Structure 1
Amino acid sequence: MTALLVSTLVGSALAMGSRPPAAGMPASGFSLTDLQGKAHTLEQYRGKIVLVNFWATWCKPCTSEMPAMQTVYDQLRDKDFVVLAVNELEDEAKVREHIQQYKHTFPVLLDRENRVANQYGVFGLPVSVFIDQQGVVQEYIKGGLLTEQKIQEIVSRIQQAAPIKAAALH
């Protein structure tokens, strides 16, 4: 009986994936393909503030916050800010149709095996992870709705902290 209970608990823990990364911890690296077949690695965005947003087309809160992400992406993409929208487990055609319908231009990555979502402890959507220029997690937001103001506030806070961190490294 005890072995069965332990087995069930271990199986449940594995099914839920890893724990979410804590603020101040290095972001877990990954490589995913976008809708054009181009590979993206987290490492290639080092030096930029990265918003990794885990989402799905069926998730109403996810699709509700995407216009705010698009607006801030349009405003800040030339200022070292990028949005990586990581879709979980959905059919590529369905994702493509959604992105074209809403005219999102940020990179949309396909997590076909849910590997990256598990790496980041994603259990429930949406989840947004803000990563600083050095590849360190600064914010992990589960649920809720990202607004333009909230995204701007977090990005601004990360930008203001960057010179302090850089000075501390020298």
Structure 2
Amino acid sequence: MNDKNSNKKNKKRNRAIMRSAILLVLIAAIGYTIYNSVTAEDVSLLKVGDEAPDFVLVDLEGEQHRLSDYQGEGVFLNFWGTWCKPCAKEMPAMDRQYEVYKEQGVHVLAVNIAQSDFEVQSFADQYGLSFPVVIDKSKSVMSAYNINPLPTTVLVNPEGKVEKIITGEMTEQDIESYMASIKPE
């Protein structure tokens, strides 16, 4: 009889300990969430109509690309990664449309997010990309543009303003109409 009472007491004690532990974890999680929202810095999100943040990145050939150098022309700014399947699917269509629009003042800058030169060069070679491919090694451009998820494309009009922000994979028809929308008059 003593063993039964002892087992019941142990089970009750173990349940009480477990409930207390769960309660403490929940309180800690709520406290952390409140602390984060109170102390979070104001992150200004990039919006349509904003001035596109200027940057300088180097392409796979060693050439520097400064966004402000494209003033007066449209820039199709595509953020991507080699591991991103939708990115890989849209690259050939972007390249075909770039061939159509590059003489009309629309430029493509494909901004890879912090991968190695070897990975990015292999990808560019595999797809035969003709537009400049740059690598954001420090993720500073990604942060300035608040990029999440990949792929994300930012259309910059000839005045240097954000015309449109597209997240996710684009069809070739989408790409064509987006490039046409940022073509200088």
Give the TM-score normalised by structure 2.
Answer: 0.76
Shift in alpha-carbon separation, 1:18–1:81, aligned structure 2, 3 A: farther
Residue aligned with 1:156, SS? helix
Shift in alpha-carbon separation, 1:7–1:41, aligned structure 2, 3 A: farther
CA distance in 1, matches of 2:175, 2:69: 22
Aligned to 1:168: none
What residue identity is the alignment partner of 1:136? K
How many residue pairs are counted as aligned between the two chains?
157
Q: 2:74 aligns with which of 49, 55, 76?
A: 49
Aligned to 2:101: 76
Q: How far is the alpha carbon of 1:3 from its aligned partner?
A: 8.1
Shift in alpha-carbon separation, 1:10–1:55, aligned structure 2, 3 A: farther
What residue identity is the alignment partner of 2:181? R
Aligned to 2:52: 27
CA distance in 1, matches of 2:43, 2:97: 29
Aligned to 1:97: 122
Do 1:20 and 1:122's aligned partners in 2 also have CA atoms closer than 8 Å? no
Q: 1:40 aligns with which of 65, 69, 84?
A: 65
What residue identity is the alignment partner of 1:34? D
User: Aligned residues: percent identity?
Assistant: 35
Larger radius of gyration, structure 1 or 2? 2
Q: How far is the alpha carbon of 1:148 from its aligned partner?
A: 2.1
Q: Are 2:167 and 1:146 equivalent residues in the alignment?
A: no
Q: How far is the alpha carbon of 1:7 from its aligned partner?
A: 5.2
Q: Are 2:134 and 1:109 equivalent residues in the alignment?
A: yes
* Long gaps (5+) in structure 2: 1-27
Give the TM-score normalised by structure 1.
Answer: 0.83
CA distance in 2, matches of 1:102, 1:30: 26
Residue aligned with 2:75, SS? strand
CA distance in 1, matches of 2:45, 2:95: 25
CA distance in 1, matches of 2:131, 2:38: 37
Q: 1:118 aligns with which of 133, 143, 151?
A: 143
With a CA cutoff of 8 Å and minimum separation of 6, indicate the structure with the bigger relative contact order: 1
Q: Write out per-residue CA displacement over residues 66-108 of structure 1, whole angstroms, 9 at most, x where no aligned residue.
A: 1111010011111101100000011110100110111001000
Moved over 2 A (4+): 1-11, 17-20, 154-159
* Long gaps (5+) in structure 1: 164-170
